[in-house]
Amino acid sequence: MNSYEYLLQDINRIKGIGSKTTKLFKKKNINTIFDLLWSPPRSSMDRTNLVKISELQIGKIQTITVNVIKYNFPRIRNLPNRVFCEDDTGKIECIFFNSYEGYIKKILPIGSKVTISGKINYYKKKYQITNPNYISANKDSIKQIFSQYSLTAGLTEKKYNIIIKEVLKNIPDLDEWLSDGILKKFNYISWKNALLELHDPKNIKKKGNFLNRLIFDEIISTFLINSRVRKAIKKIKKVSKKFDDKEFDRIKNKVDFELTNDQNIALDEINKDLKSSQKMFRLLQGDVGSGKTIVALIASANVISSGFQVCLMAPTEILARQHYNLASKLFDKNVNIKILTSKTENAERSEILKNLNNNNINFIIGTHSLFQEKIKYNNLGLIIIDEQHKFGVKQRKKLSDKGGKNCDVLVMSATPIPRTMIMTVFGDMDTSIIKNKPKNRKEIKTYSKLETKSEEIIKFVKKQINHKNQVFWVCPLIEESKKIDHQSSVKRYESLKKIFKNKVGLIHGALEKDEKNNILLKFLNKKIDILVSTTVIEVGIDFPNANIIIIENANKFGLSQLHQLRGRVGRGDKESYCILMFRSNLSENAKKRINILKKTTDGFKISDEDMKLRGYGDLLGFKQSGLQSFRLADPVLNEDLFLLAEKEVKKIEQENQNLDKYMTLLKLYDRADILNDIV
Ligand code: ADP
Ligand code: MG
């Protein structure tokens, strides 16, 4: 066995761990020995101070050495077994619930001298220790500082410590993968020693070279893979696209606005990539409502005019349809555009597949099904993925491969994240950023209102509807014992219906897809005025006529989420409003969030603040999506280490180093398999 392979084994291979404990660990998502290493102790328990019984402090954890005098094993069920002990200053009882006599006799033989550690109680003028976990004839094995890990029912601190100790004892000495220059920054601490320090109870909550080194390892393993994917894609030579400004001018004349400076710059960058002989792999990042769609469509028109096909993939059906409608409006009549979703009828589907294969369709717009279907393109030149932040490096690479060597790739994302996060999540791509929103935007007026004032809100809504405006009314999901509850939205819907009759619609996660789409379309076509929903309002849909969003229980949402929700309005040229409803007794944190929202509509600023308040992991569910497999690194707190890793990877690539030295790192951190696809 290669030495690192010990760490990748199932935890049931650890000496002394049984199937019951294995199960408990797996419930905590600790599957391999390696996994076990990444939950450092949260606190420690000092059991080193040995006292006499006369010095015992009640309610505290104390360690004593005593003689075992006699047993009391009652024959009545539910009564505990007792063991009477003493030292030369006093007496104490050990009380055992649910322990076998045999076990007790073994660990506490009559006449023996043992060291015991546990919490001291005082009952009927007697000292007691109930179910002491730490008992040994060898006092040095008890007189220690013990690490306290996050436990779960059935997994004791003692057991956990025994297991961790066994694992730490067996961590192999691995060949160093970091360069000398980097190691020097961490005072030459080895990976193994860094881990030992991480678990040392003396270092609890401490920072230092040991932690920085481990964090750096995580970051550099991610960056190395990103960089290799990027390099592999850059190596692919493609037929460059040839086009002029004709399409651009035509489309520009069809829309009733000027492109912003940032849109023009992004478009220039994209065009340059399209015209080059290197494959494009680019992220177009821009806050909600910054106008990414038009940029993507102009790029598509260029690619089509140079004789290639384009495929645009949206996260939802309704968004796909919206893109389709816009493209149909803007594109030359000679361009054949089709939409393909899971709802497309079979006959039409096979017609579309046929026509994609014989190059009769120039532009296909759709959902996931575009990726999953066995579609054979005739001449695919560009894939665009809209708002699909759950796509990771592996999926993007696969998509790019599927498109073939002439196919450029553009990914659009509205998640305003700091550069360290972009480097992590999109580090395999070049990036264009639309920072400033179109000038015609009016600031969205953001208010907060107590729930008890809902009469006033209703009055306001009535007035707005009379002016032909539309309203989103968002109710949070209430999650109770895994059952997702949309009760609050149903209740609100019922009460609004009494006032606004059939002008109210309701969508929530439990509805069928078709039903959901129907209601959304009704709203889009202004058949209803108020759309009550849980947070399922789809990302990216453009409802220019909706200018009010009311968010109930606003304190239940994170900042970025509130920002995304608010971004549903303020897209047209009307005055827009966001009303945050809340109950009294807001936490300090919730007050802060609401104030930040009132102060700014800048998504980058908001995500920055959000990460300061909540940590990066929650940002739009990156953690849930499983993309973010950092266990220690934090893109906000460890910015310096991210930048250091970026520099180091650049150096590695400039010197054209092969990655042999890093293979153990990449394998341990589960980032190696993608390399097989590349080389
Ligand atoms: P997102 O970046 O969130 O995908 P969209 O592309 O949906 O944003 O654009 C939001 C709205 O802004 C659309 O109604 C679009 O027509 C409009 N828009 C786009 N660019 C401009 C611009 N330069 N000036 C004015 N409005 C614009
Ligand atoms: Mg969009």
Nearest to 567 by CA among 555, 576, 554: 576
pLDDT at 479: 58
pLDDT, average across residues 450-475: 92
Distance, CA 427 to ligand 1 centroid (Å)?
Answer: 26
Residue 435 is predicted with a pLDDT of 86
Is pLDDT of 584 > 80?
A: no
Residue 241, SS3?
coil
- Write down the pLDDT at residue 651: 95
Residue 250 CA to ligand 2 center (angstroms) comes to: 22
Q: How far apart are CA 87 and CA 277, in angstroms?
A: 86
* Cα 544 to ligand 1 centroid, rounded to whole Å: 10
pLDDT number for residue 301: 96
Residue 146: its pLDDT value, please?
85
pLDDT of residue 408: 94
Whole-number pLDDT of residue 356: 93
CA of 387 to the centre of ligand 2 (A): 7
- Rg value, the chain, Cα: 31
DSSP, residue by residue, 38-100: TS--SEEEE---EE-GGG--TTSEEEEEEEEEEEE--SSTTPPEEEEEEETTEEEEEEESS--
More confident residue, 96 or 317: 96
SS (H, E, C) 616-631: HHHHHHCCCCCCCCCC
Long-range contacts of 184-188 (CB under 8 A, 24+ apart): 185/212, 185/644, 186/210, 186/212, 186/213, 186/216
Pocket test for ligand 1, best of 258, 263, 293 (most atoms within 8 A of CB): 293
The pLDDT value recorded for residue 623 is: 47
Q: Which of 287, 294, 436, 574 to mutate to test the pocket of ligand 1 (most atoms within 8 A of CB)?
A: 294
pLDDT tens track for 379-411: 999 999 987 656 667 777 777 788 888 999 999
Residue 574 contacts residue 594 (beta carbons within 8 Å): no
Question: Which atom of ligand 1 sits closest to the CA of residue 288?
Answer: 3
Residue 391 pLDDT: 67
Hey, what are 404's tokens?
């073939």
CA dist., res. 529 & res. 523, Å (int):
7
- Low-confidence winner among 87-101, 192-206, 209-223, 592-606 (lowest mean pLDDT): 592-606
Calculate how far, in angstroms, residue 290's C-alpha sits from the geometric centre of ligand 1.
Answer: 6
Ligand 1 shell residues, CB under 6 Å = 257-260, 263, 286, 288-294, 414, 438, 440, 540, 542, 544, 571
**What proportion of the chain, given as a percentage, has pLDDT over 70?**
93
Question: Confidence band (pLDDT; 50, 70, 90) for 629?
Answer: low
What is the whole-number distance in angstroms between the Cα of residue 571 and the centre of ligand 2? 11
Q: Mean pLDDT throughout 427-446?
A: 85
Q: Per the structure block, which two tokens stand in for 142? A: 């008890």
The mean pLDDT of 574-595, rounded to a whole number, is 85
Compute the average pLDDT of residues 621-639.
Answer: 68
Question: pLDDT at position 661, please?
Answer: 92
Question: 497 Cβ partners below 8 Å, 6+ apart?
Answer: 504
Q: Walk me through the domains of the chain, giving residue ranges and CATH numbers.
A: 48-143 (2.40.50.140), 173-236+638-679 (no CATH), 240-434 (3.40.50.300), 444-600 (3.40.50.300)
When mean pLDDT is compared over 214-223, 575-584, 605-614, the highest value belongs to: 214-223
| Percent share of the chain, pLDDT over 90 | 46
* Per-residue model confidence as pLDDT tens digits over 108-141: 999 999 999 999 999 888 999 998 878 988 888 8
| Predicted local confidence at residue 87, as pLDDT | 92
Look at residue 679 and tell me whether its pLDDT is greater than 60.
Answer: no
Tokens encoding 557: 């949402």
Q: Provide CB contacts within 8 A for 347, sequence distance 6+.
A: none
Of 557 and 122, which is predicted with more confidence?
122
Q: Whose CA is nearest to atom 18 of ligand 1?
A: 291
* Cβ-proximal residues to 157 (8 Å cutoff; 6+ apart), any chain: 45, 133, 146, 148, 149, 151
- Does 437 or 188 have the greater pLDDT score? 188
Counting ligand 1 atoms within 8 A of each CB, the residue from 542, 543, 545 with the most, and so the one to mutate, is 542
Query: Apex CA 356: angle with CA 301 and CA 313, to 5°?
Result: 60
CA of 612 to the centre of ligand 1 (A): 29
To the nearest whole number, what is the mean pLDDT of the chain?
87
What is the structure's pLDDT at 17? Answer: 87
Summarize the confidence of residues 260-273 as an average pLDDT.
96
Ligand 1 centre distance from Cα of residue 289 (Å):
5
Parallel, antiparallel, or unpaired for β 81-87 and 61-72? antiparallel
288 Cα–ligand 2 center, Å: 7
H helix runs in 236-386, sequence order: 246-254, 261-275, 292-305, 317-330, 346-357, 369-372
Distance, in Å, from the CA atom of 601 to the CA atom of 594, rounded to the nearest integer, reads 12
Better pLDDT: 317 or 121: 121
- By three-state DSSP, how is residue 163 classified? helix
Whole-angstrom distance, CA of residue 274 vs CA of residue 347: 34
Mutation pick for ligand 1 pocket among 539, 571, 573, 574 (CB with most ligand atoms within 8 Å): 571
Tell me the ligand closest to 568's alpha carbon.
1
Whether 538 has a pLDDT exceeding 60, the answer reads no
* CA diameter of the chain: 102
Per-residue model confidence (pLDDT) at position 620:
44
* Unique residue bearing structure tokens 């539910």: 78
Among protein residues, the one whose CA lies closest to atom 20 of ligand 1? 291
First vs last C-alpha separation in the chain: 25
Instruction: Report which protein residue has its CA nearest ligand 1's atom 17.
Output: 291
* C-beta of residue 504 within 8 angstroms of C-beta of residue 479: no
Query: Which of 290, 312, 388, 563 for a ligand 1 pocket mutation test, highest count of atoms within 8 Å of Cβ?
Result: 290
Tokens for 381? 């030149």
Distance from the alpha carbon of residue 419 to the mean position of ligand 1, in angstroms = 24
Mean pLDDT within 568-589: 84
Which atom of ligand 1 is closest in space to residue 263's alpha carbon?
Answer: 23
Alpha-carbon gap, residue 250 to 140, rounded angstroms: 84
Handedness of CA 518, 519, 521, 525 (dihedral sign): positive
Residue 101: what pLDDT? 87
For residue 485, what pLDDT is reported?
Answer: 66
Which residue puts its alpha carbon closest to atom 26 of ligand 1? 438
Residue 238 has pLDDT above 60, yes or no: yes
Q: Whose CA is nearest to atom 23 of ligand 1?
A: 259
d(CA 657, CA 552) in angstroms, rounded, equals 55
Statement: residue 598 has pLDDT above 50 = yes
Provide the sign of the torsion angle of the four alpha carbons 458, 463, 466, 472, taken in this order.
Answer: negative
pLDDT higher than 60, residue 621: no
- CB crowding 32-45: b at 16 or more within 10 Å, else e: bbbbbbebbbeebb
pLDDT score of 390: 62
Q: Give yes or no for residue 18 having a pLDDT over 90.
A: no
Query: Whose Cα sits closest to atom 10 in ligand 1?
Result: 289
Range of lowest pLDDT (160-174, 259-273, 423-437) = 423-437
Q: Name the nearest CA neighbour of 81 among 108, 57, 120.
A: 108
Q: Is-contact 567 474, C-beta < 8 A?
A: no
Of the ranges 41-55, 262-276, 375-389, the best mean pLDDT one? 262-276
Alpha carbon nearest to ligand 1 atom 16, residue = 291
pLDDT at 618 over 80: no
Residue 296 identity: A
